[in-house]
Amino acid sequence: MQAIYQKALKNSMSYNDYLNLIDEKISQNASTGHEQNEMLTGFTKLNRARMKRLDKTQEILPQLEAAVKQISQKQIWLVLTESWCGDAAQHVPVFNKLSAINPFIDLRLVLRDDNDEFMQKYLTNGGRSIPKLIAVSGDLQTELFTWGPRPATAQVEVKRLLDQEGGFNDKVKEGIQIWYNNDKGVSLQTELLELLK
Protein backbone atom coordinates (compact mmCIF):
# COMPACT_ATOMS: atom_id res chain seq x y z
CA MET A 1 0.00 0.00 0.00
CA GLN A 2 2.88 2.38 0.67
CA ALA A 3 3.56 2.74 -3.08
CA ILE A 4 -0.14 3.53 -3.71
CA TYR A 5 -0.11 6.14 -0.91
CA GLN A 6 3.08 7.66 -2.35
CA LYS A 7 1.53 7.89 -5.81
CA ALA A 8 -1.68 9.44 -4.41
CA LEU A 9 0.37 11.92 -2.37
CA LYS A 10 2.44 12.84 -5.44
CA ASN A 11 -0.81 13.50 -7.37
CA SER A 12 -2.45 15.42 -4.52
CA MET A 13 -2.95 19.13 -3.86
CA SER A 14 -3.54 21.47 -0.95
CA TYR A 15 -7.00 22.77 -0.08
CA ASN A 16 -6.21 26.20 -1.57
CA ASP A 17 -4.90 24.64 -4.77
CA TYR A 18 -8.09 22.55 -4.95
CA LEU A 19 -10.24 25.69 -4.60
CA ASN A 20 -8.15 27.46 -7.26
CA LEU A 21 -8.57 24.47 -9.59
CA ILE A 22 -12.35 24.55 -9.08
CA ASP A 23 -12.41 28.30 -9.80
CA GLU A 24 -10.37 27.70 -12.95
CA LYS A 25 -12.74 24.93 -14.08
CA ILE A 26 -15.76 27.18 -13.46
CA SER A 27 -14.17 29.93 -15.58
CA GLN A 28 -13.82 27.32 -18.37
CA ASN A 29 -17.45 26.21 -17.85
CA ALA A 30 -16.20 22.77 -16.81
CA SER A 31 -15.72 20.56 -13.76
CA THR A 32 -12.96 18.29 -12.50
CA GLY A 33 -13.21 14.64 -13.53
CA HIS A 34 -13.14 12.74 -16.79
CA GLU A 35 -16.83 13.18 -17.60
CA GLN A 36 -17.85 16.68 -18.69
CA ASN A 37 -21.40 17.93 -19.06
CA GLU A 38 -23.62 20.88 -18.18
CA MET A 39 -25.08 19.14 -15.13
CA LEU A 40 -21.63 18.47 -13.56
CA THR A 41 -20.57 22.06 -14.30
CA GLY A 42 -23.74 23.28 -12.57
CA PHE A 43 -23.01 21.08 -9.53
CA THR A 44 -19.45 22.43 -9.46
CA LYS A 45 -20.67 26.06 -9.35
CA LEU A 46 -23.19 25.26 -6.63
CA ASN A 47 -20.63 23.31 -4.59
CA ARG A 48 -18.08 26.13 -4.80
CA ALA A 49 -20.66 28.54 -3.32
CA ARG A 50 -21.42 26.02 -0.54
CA MET A 51 -17.74 25.55 0.25
CA LYS A 52 -17.24 29.33 0.46
CA ARG A 53 -20.12 29.51 2.93
CA LEU A 54 -18.82 26.59 5.01
CA ASP A 55 -15.30 28.05 5.06
CA LYS A 56 -16.82 31.09 6.80
CA THR A 57 -19.54 29.53 8.96
CA GLN A 58 -18.62 25.92 9.83
CA GLU A 59 -18.05 25.50 13.54
CA ILE A 60 -15.97 22.68 15.01
CA LEU A 61 -17.30 20.81 18.04
CA PRO A 62 -15.16 21.63 21.11
CA GLN A 63 -14.63 17.92 21.91
CA LEU A 64 -13.43 17.23 18.36
CA GLU A 65 -11.13 20.25 18.47
CA ALA A 66 -9.64 18.90 21.72
CA ALA A 67 -9.15 15.44 20.17
CA VAL A 68 -7.46 16.92 17.08
CA LYS A 69 -5.12 18.96 19.30
CA GLN A 70 -4.05 15.67 20.98
CA ILE A 71 -2.53 14.32 17.73
CA SER A 72 1.21 14.34 18.36
CA GLN A 73 2.60 12.59 15.28
CA LYS A 74 2.31 13.50 11.62
CA GLN A 75 -0.77 12.19 9.80
CA ILE A 76 -1.52 12.62 6.12
CA TRP A 77 -5.21 12.91 5.32
CA LEU A 78 -5.71 11.86 1.70
CA VAL A 79 -9.19 12.78 0.50
CA LEU A 80 -10.62 11.40 -2.74
CA THR A 81 -12.89 14.07 -4.19
CA GLU A 82 -14.19 15.85 -7.31
CA SER A 83 -15.63 19.35 -7.77
CA TRP A 84 -19.10 18.09 -8.80
CA CYS A 85 -19.63 15.94 -5.67
CA GLY A 86 -22.20 17.47 -3.32
CA ASP A 87 -21.13 15.32 -0.35
CA ALA A 88 -17.50 16.37 -0.85
CA ALA A 89 -18.53 20.04 -0.83
CA GLN A 90 -20.08 19.50 2.62
CA HIS A 91 -17.12 17.61 4.14
CA VAL A 92 -13.86 18.85 2.60
CA PRO A 93 -14.16 22.31 4.27
CA VAL A 94 -14.54 20.54 7.63
CA PHE A 95 -11.41 18.45 6.98
CA ASN A 96 -9.61 21.68 6.12
CA LYS A 97 -10.70 23.39 9.35
CA LEU A 98 -9.52 20.37 11.35
CA SER A 99 -6.14 20.32 9.62
CA ALA A 100 -5.73 24.01 10.48
CA ILE A 101 -6.06 23.18 14.19
CA ASN A 102 -3.01 20.91 14.27
CA PRO A 103 0.13 21.20 12.09
CA PHE A 104 0.61 17.42 12.44
CA ILE A 105 -2.32 16.94 10.04
CA ASP A 106 -1.37 17.33 6.38
CA LEU A 107 -4.59 17.53 4.33
CA ARG A 108 -4.14 16.51 0.68
CA LEU A 109 -6.90 16.40 -1.95
CA VAL A 110 -6.76 13.62 -4.55
CA LEU A 111 -8.95 13.70 -7.66
CA ARG A 112 -10.87 10.43 -7.92
CA ASP A 113 -10.89 10.09 -11.71
CA ASP A 114 -7.14 10.72 -12.04
CA ASN A 115 -6.25 8.21 -9.31
CA ASP A 116 -8.24 5.09 -10.10
CA GLU A 117 -5.76 2.64 -8.55
CA PHE A 118 -6.07 4.47 -5.22
CA MET A 119 -9.87 4.74 -5.54
CA GLN A 120 -10.16 0.99 -6.25
CA LYS A 121 -8.66 0.26 -2.80
CA TYR A 122 -11.38 2.31 -1.08
CA LEU A 123 -14.64 1.39 -2.79
CA THR A 124 -17.91 1.62 -0.85
CA ASN A 125 -20.10 -1.44 -1.52
CA GLY A 126 -18.24 -1.85 -4.81
CA GLY A 127 -18.86 1.77 -5.87
CA ARG A 128 -16.47 4.69 -6.36
CA SER A 129 -18.33 6.87 -3.83
CA ILE A 130 -16.66 10.06 -2.63
CA PRO A 131 -15.52 11.84 -0.60
CA LYS A 132 -13.33 9.24 1.04
CA LEU A 133 -10.87 10.25 3.75
CA ILE A 134 -7.90 7.94 4.25
CA ALA A 135 -5.67 8.93 7.17
CA VAL A 136 -2.18 7.45 7.05
CA SER A 137 0.91 7.83 9.20
CA GLY A 138 3.47 10.43 8.16
CA ASP A 139 5.82 7.72 6.88
CA LEU A 140 2.97 6.24 4.74
CA GLN A 141 3.44 2.86 6.45
CA THR A 142 0.17 2.62 8.36
CA GLU A 143 -3.47 3.30 7.59
CA LEU A 144 -4.85 5.00 10.70
CA PHE A 145 -8.53 5.18 9.74
CA THR A 146 -10.88 5.79 6.84
CA TRP A 147 -14.14 7.70 6.62
CA GLY A 148 -16.72 8.28 3.93
CA PRO A 149 -18.53 8.92 1.75
CA ARG A 150 -21.14 10.40 4.10
CA PRO A 151 -22.26 10.09 7.74
CA ALA A 152 -24.30 6.98 8.61
CA THR A 153 -27.36 9.12 9.46
CA ALA A 154 -27.13 10.86 6.07
CA GLN A 155 -26.83 7.45 4.39
CA VAL A 156 -30.13 6.40 6.01
CA GLU A 157 -31.81 9.61 4.82
CA VAL A 158 -30.49 9.19 1.27
CA LYS A 159 -31.79 5.62 1.14
CA ARG A 160 -35.18 6.78 2.44
CA LEU A 161 -35.36 9.53 -0.20
CA LEU A 162 -34.29 7.19 -3.02
CA ASP A 163 -36.87 4.59 -1.98
CA GLN A 164 -39.57 7.27 -1.71
CA GLU A 165 -38.76 8.80 -5.10
CA GLY A 166 -37.92 5.55 -6.90
CA GLY A 167 -34.47 6.82 -7.87
CA PHE A 168 -32.25 9.89 -7.96
CA ASN A 169 -33.98 13.13 -8.92
CA ASP A 170 -34.24 16.82 -7.92
CA LYS A 171 -36.38 16.01 -4.85
CA VAL A 172 -33.68 13.64 -3.60
CA LYS A 173 -30.96 16.29 -4.18
CA GLU A 174 -33.06 18.87 -2.34
CA GLY A 175 -33.78 16.45 0.52
CA ILE A 176 -30.09 15.66 0.97
CA GLN A 177 -29.23 19.38 1.03
CA ILE A 178 -31.94 20.05 3.64
CA TRP A 179 -30.48 17.24 5.74
CA TYR A 180 -26.98 18.75 5.51
CA ASN A 181 -28.28 22.26 6.33
CA ASN A 182 -30.05 20.97 9.44
CA ASP A 183 -27.13 18.75 10.55
CA LYS A 184 -24.54 21.58 10.34
CA GLY A 185 -21.63 19.10 10.10
CA VAL A 186 -22.34 17.56 13.52
CA SER A 187 -22.77 13.96 12.29
CA LEU A 188 -19.48 14.01 10.38
CA GLN A 189 -17.65 15.51 13.35
CA THR A 190 -19.16 12.99 15.80
CA GLU A 191 -18.01 10.11 13.59
CA LEU A 192 -14.51 11.59 13.22
CA LEU A 193 -14.32 12.01 17.00
CA GLU A 194 -14.99 8.27 17.42
CA LEU A 195 -12.30 7.44 14.84
CA LEU A 196 -9.73 9.64 16.57
CA LYS A 197 -10.32 8.07 19.99
List C-alpha distances in Å: 62 to 105, 107, 193.
18, 20, 10
CATH class of the domain at 2-149:
alpha beta
> Is pLDDT above 90 for 193?
yes
Domain boundaries of the chain, sorted by first residue: 2-149
Q: What is the DSSP string of 5-18?
A: HHHHHHT-B-HHHH
What SS3 state is found at 138? coil
| Other beta carbons less than 10 A from residue 65's beta carbon | 16
- pTM of the shown model: 0.96
Look over the chain and give the mean of its residue pLDDT values, rounded to a whole number.
97
Residue 191 pLDDT grade (very low, low, confident, very high; cuts 50, 70, 90): very high
Is pLDDT at 117 greater than 90 in this prediction? yes
Q: Residue 125: pLDDT above 90?
A: yes
The string of pLDDT tens digits covering residues 67-96 is 999 999 999 999 999 999 999 999 999 999
Q: What is the DSSP letter of 150?
A: S
Check pLDDT > 90 for residue 1.
no
The fraction of the chain above a pLDDT of 70, given in percent, is 100
